[in-house]
Amino acid sequence: MRKNILPRKLAKPIEQLSDGTWIIRYAIQSIDRTDNEGNELVTFASSIFLEKPTLEMIKKSIHRYAMSVLDDEDVLPLVANPDLSVYMIID
């Protein structure tokens, strides 16, 4: 799991990368800053999968992250009951 910063419009919940791996982004929250073009910047946690993940795999990954941030009152609500519908992948 990694923590990153991107403009909000680029922080897609799920995306296949050019090398064929998949990135899942969650716990997305504003950091009250903008980039040089005025785009809102957000921070998020992410997990990389070598193959297209199932909803169950995504749920487990988010749960592992939630367990690691149990003492973070700002992040925990973002991962405690995630909306998995944003990760629906149509074959």
Higher pLDDT, 72 or 28: 28
Which residues on adjacent β-strands are paired with residue 42? 6, 30
Percent residues over pLDDT 70 in the chain: 95
pTM above 0.85, yes or no: no
Into how many domains does the chain fold? 1
Structural domain containing residue 75: 2-87
How do residues 4-40 score in pLDDT, each as one tens digit?
899 999 999 999 999 999 999 998 889 999 989 999 9
Give the separation between CA 10 and CA 41, rounded to whole angstroms: 10
Give the separation between CA 89 and CA 41, rounded to whole angstroms: 25
Question: In 41-67, which positions are buried (b, 16+ CB within 10 angstroms) versus exposed (e)?
Answer: bbbbbbbebeeebeeebbeebbeebbe
Specify the pLDDT at position 77.
77
Percent residues over pLDDT 90 in the chain: 47
